[in-house]
Amino acid sequence: MALSIHLRPATAAHVRGRRARTDAAIRLGAGSLLWLSLLLVAYWWVAARGIQDLGGWESGLLSTGRLSGLVASDLLLVQVLLMARLPLLERAFGQDRLAHVHRLVGFTSFTLMVAHVVLIVWGYAGGSLPGVPAETWRMTWNDPGMLIAVAGTLCLGMVVVTSIKAARARLRYESWHLLHLYAYLGVGLALPHQLWTGTELVGSTGRSVFWWSAWAVAAAAVLVFRLGLPLWRNLRHRVHVTSVVAEGDGVVSVHLGGRNLHRLHAEAGQFFVWRFLTGEGRTRGNPYSLSAAPTHDSLRITVKDLGDQSGRLKELPVGTRVLFEGPFGRLGDRARTRDKIALIGAGVGITPLRALAEGMAYEPGEAVMLHRYRDRPLMQLELERLSAERGLGLLWLPGARRSDDSWLGGHVGRADDLTALTSWVPDITQRDVYVCGPTVWAGQVVATLRAAGLAPDQIHLESFSW
C-alpha cells in the first residue's frame, strides 16, 4: 500500500502554510545573499579606484575588465551552488524555477567572463586593437595561471554552446548531462589565475576571507550533495529491479525494491536520476518521475521508448542493481496552495500525475484529471480504480491534435481551449493545476490557464533541464 497520508483539511492547510512560509523565507534569503555578494564585489571595485580609472581610455578598459571579472567570478560560484542540488534550494524553488535561474546566471556569468578577457587584454595592449593578438599570446604564456585559465574558459564555452536550445535539441540527455559536468572543471581551472593575478580578490584580509570561504562552500556543496549524499543513499538502500511490466504502445513500468526506502522521504510527483547497471549505457543517468506513490520498500517509474536509452528498460533483468540520485523536484504537495486540484497530462506525461492522484490528500470531487492521448489512455485501469476509490474525476481527451495551436484534440470541435477548459472545469480558478507533457504542449496549457485567470502560484510544472 502506498504511503499516502490523507490529512484533515484544516491540518493540511496548516502544513501547506508552514511549508509555504519556509520556502518563501529560503527564496528570500538566497536572493538576498546573491545581491549582497554582488554589492560587496562592486564595493571593492569602487574602493580600488574603479570609478576614477574610467576617466582614461586604457585605464577605463582595465577597470571595466576588472569589474566584469569580479561579477563573473561571483556568478560562477553561484552557478556551482545551483548545480550542486542543495536540498534546501530544490525544495524551495523547484526544478523549473531553478533551471530558469541556472540558465540566466550561466549565460550572464560566461558573457561577463568573455568581456573580462577581452577588456583586460585590450587594456594591457595599450587600448590598441592591432596589439591585442600579441598581448593575448604574451599573457597566455607568461602570466601565472593564464594557460589553465584559457583551458577553463574553453570548458565553460563548450557547456554554454551545448546549452543553447538549438544545440540542446540535437543532443541526447545523457550526452548533454556529461558535457555539462565540464562546468565544474572550467570553474576549477579558473581558480589559480584568480588567486595569482586577481588583486581585487586577495588584496585585503576581508577579500581573501570572502573568496576563500565562497570557494570552500561551493566545493563542499559539490562534494557533499553531488558525490557524498548519493553514494551514502545508494549504499544504504541498495535499490534493484523487481519486475518490468509492459503497459503497451512502447511504454513499460519498472518496479524497484530496496531497503528502508521510506527514509528517502520521496513524494509522489518527484523524480530521480537513474542508472541501471547492466548492458550499454550503465554509466548514463536519465531522469524519470515516479509513476506511483512511494512505499516503504518499493518505487515505480513508467517510461516510453523514445529511441534512446529508454528503449533498453523493457529488457532489464530482475535483480539489476540501480544507482540513483534524488529525490528531486517540487511537482507535488509541497507546491500546493489550495484544497482543490486539477491534473492535466499528455501521453506518458500522465505518469507523475497518476502518482499525485494516488499520493495527495483530497476529498471526493476535489481532484480532477484531464488525460490527453492519441489512441488509448495510459494506465486506464489504475486511474479508473482511483476514481472509484478516491473520487478522482476523469476526463478523457482522445484523438489527434488539431492543426491550430490548440493543446486539445479534434473531438472538441471548433471550441477554443479556454472555452472548453472552463466548461469542463468551471471552478478551475479555485484549483492548483499540475501540468506534465511535451514542452510545447505544456506551454500551450499554461497559456490557457493564465488566460482563465489563474495566478502563477497555482500552476505547477517542471522540466528535467539539468
Q: Which amino acid is at 305?
A: D
User: 283 near 298, Cβ under 8 Å?
Assistant: no
The lowest-confidence range among 29-43, 103-117, 366-380, 394-408 is: 394-408
Of the candidates 47, 35, 43, the residue with the CA atom closest to the CA atom of residue 75: 35
pLDDT classification of 310: cutoffs 50, 70, 90: low
| CATH topology identical between 238-328 and 335-460 | no
| pLDDT given for residue 334 in this prediction | 86
Q: CATH says 9-233 is which class?
A: mainly alpha
User: pLDDT tens digits for 418-427?
Assistant: 999 999 999 9
- Confidence band (pLDDT; 50, 70, 90) for 48? confident
How high is the pLDDT of residue 465? Answer: 44
Contact (Cβ atoms closer than 8 angstroms) between residue 157 and residue 185: no
pLDDT mean over 79-100: 85
Q: What are phi and psi of 158, to 5 degrees?
A: -65, -40
CA distance 378 to 437: 13
Is residue 200 very low, low, confident or very high in pLDDT (cuts 50, 70, 90)?
low
Output the nine-digit C-alpha cell for 106. 550561466
- Which segments of 295-428 does DSSP mark as H helices, in order? 350-359, 380-390, 417-424
**pTM of structure:** 0.82
pLDDT of residue 466: 36
Distances from the Cα of 229 to the Cαs of 236, 324, 355, 465, in angstroms? 10, 11, 25, 21
- Rounded to an integer, what distance in angstroms lies between the CA atom of residue 299 and that of residue 257? 6
Q: Over 70: is that where the pLDDT of 301 sits?
A: yes
Q: What percent of the chain has pLDDT above 90? A: 43
Asked if omega into 192 is within 30° of 0 (cis), the reply is: no
Spatial separation of the C-alpha atoms in residues 360 and 409, rounded to whole Å: 28
- Compute the residue count for the chain: 466
Q: Is the pLDDT of residue 3 over 50?
A: no
Q: Is the pLDDT of residue 124 over 80?
A: yes
Average pLDDT over residues 316-339: 90
Identity of the highest mean pLDDT range in 137-146, 186-195, 386-395, 413-422: 386-395
Q: Are 436 and 353 within 8 A, CB to CB?
A: yes
**Which single residue is written with the C-alpha cell 598581448?**
135
Q: What is the pLDDT of residues 341-365, one digit of tens each?
A: 999 999 888 999 999 999 998 999 8
Cα 455–100–405 angle (5° rounding)? 60
DSSP-derived letter for residue 385 is H
Q: pLDDT (tens digit, 9 = 90+) per residue, 252-287?
A: 999 999 999 999 999 999 999 999 988 776 777 888
Taking the C-alpha atoms of 337, 341, 342 and 343 in order, what is their torsion angle to the nearest 10 degrees? 80
Handedness of CA 417, 423, 426, 432 (dihedral sign): negative
Say if residue 464's pLDDT is above 60: no
pLDDT band at 98 (very low <50, low <70, confident <90, very high): confident
| Three-class DSSP category at 282 | coil
pLDDT band per the 50, 70, 90 thresholds, residue 187: confident
Complete edge-to-edge strand list for the sheet that includes strand 431-436: 393-397, 367-372, 340-346, 431-436, 459-460
Q: Is the dihedral of CA 331, 334, 336, 341 positive or negative?
A: positive
Residue-level pLDDT at 2: 47
In DSSP terms, 321 is beta-bridged to 240
Q: What is the mean pLDDT of the chain?
A: 85
pLDDT at 401: 72
Name the residue ranges covered by the structural domains of the chain: 9-233, 238-328, 335-460
Q: Let me know: does 330 contact 95? Beta carbons within 8 Å.
A: yes
Instruction: Find cell 509492459 and name the residue.
Output: 246
Q: Does domain 335-460 have CATH number 3.40.47.10?
A: no
* Side-chain half-sphere CA neighbours of 170 within 13 A: 6
Average pLDDT over residues 98-102: 83
Q: Cell 526544478 belongs to which residue?
A: 95
* DSSP 8-state symbol, 49: T
Q: How far is CA 235 from the centre of its chain?
A: 25
Count other Cβ atoms within 10 Å, centred on residue 278: 15
Which residue from 326, 270, 299, 287 is spatially nearest to 3, judged by alpha carbons? 299
- Model confidence at 168, pLDDT cuts 50, 70, 90, reads low
Mean per-residue pLDDT for 277-303? 87
Q: Is the pLDDT higher at 211 or at 154?
A: 211
The residue type at 326: G
Q: Does domain 238-328 have CATH number 2.40.30.10?
A: yes
